[in-house]
Amino acid sequence: MTSVAIVTGASSGIGAATARRLAAEGFHVLAAARRADRLGALVAEIEAAGGRATAVECDVTSDESVAALAEAAAAAPGPVTVLVNNAGGARGLDPVESGSVGDWQWMYDVNVLGTLRVTQAVLPALEASGAGTIVIVSSTAGFTVYEGGGGYTAAKHAQTAIAGTLRLELSGRPIRVIEIDPGMVKTEEFSLVRFDGDAERAEAVYAGVPEPLVAEDVADCIAWCATRPHHVNVDRLVVRPLAQAAQHKVHRVGQ
Ligand SMILES: NC(=O)c1ccc[n+]([C@@H]2O[C@H](COP(=O)([O-])OP(=O)(O)OC[C@H]3O[C@@H](n4cnc5c(N)ncnc54)[C@H](OP(=O)(O)O)[C@@H]3O)[C@@H](O)[C@H]2O)c1
Percent pLDDT > 90 in the chain is 99
| 139 close to ligand 1 (CB < 6 Angstrom) | yes
Which among 12, 236, 238 is the best mutation to test ligand 1's pocket, defined by most ligand atoms within 8 Å of the CB?
12
| 39 close to ligand 1 (CB < 6 Angstrom) | no
User: Rounded to the nearest whole angstrom, what is the distance from the C-alpha of residue 172 to the centroid of ligand 1?
Assistant: 31
Q: Is the pLDDT of residue 177 over 80?
A: yes
Q: Is the pLDDT of residue 243 over 80?
A: yes
Q: Is the pLDDT of residue 180 over 90?
A: yes
- CB-CB contact of 33 with 55 (8 Å): no
| 46 close to ligand 1 (CB < 6 Angstrom) | no
Cβ atoms within 10 Å, residue 233: 13
> Any idea what DSSP says for residue 68?
H
- The residues, ordered by sequence, that sit 6+ positions from 219 with a Cβ below 8 Å of its Cβ are 14, 17, 18, 20, 21
Q: Terminal CA-to-CA distance of the chain, rounded, Å?
A: 53
- The residues, ordered by sequence, that sit 6+ positions from 59 with a Cβ below 8 Å of its Cβ are 34, 65, 66
User: Rounded to the nearest whole angstrom, what is the distance from the C-alpha of residue 187 to the centroid of ligand 1?
Assistant: 9
Q: Is the pLDDT of residue 255 over 80?
A: no
Q: Is the pTM of this model over 0.85?
A: yes
More confident residue, 255 or 9: 9
Task: Give the integer Cα–Cα distance in Å for 134 and 167.
Answer: 10
What one-character-per-residue DSSP string does 190-241 give?
A: HHHHHTTT-HHHHHHTTTT-S--B-HHHHHHHHHHHHTS-TT----EEEE--
Share the mean pLDDT of the chain: 97
Task: Give the integer Cα–Cα distance in Å for 217 and 240.
Answer: 10
**Listing from the earlier edge strand, what are the strands of the sheet with 236-239?**
52-57, 28-33, 4-8, 80-85, 132-137, 175-182, 236-239
pLDDT digits (tens, 9 = 90+) for 41-100: 999 999 999 999 999 999 999 999 999 999 999 999 999 999 999 999 999 999 999 999
Q: Tell me what pLDDT residue 58 has.
A: 98
- CB-CB contact of 134 with 222 (8 Å): no
pLDDT digits (tens, 9 = 90+) for 103-156: 999 999 999 999 999 999 999 999 999 999 999 999 999 999 999 999 999 999
pLDDT digits (tens, 9 = 90+) for 7-34: 999 999 999 999 999 999 999 999 999 9
Positions marked catalytic: 152
Q: Is the pLDDT of residue 38 over 90?
A: yes
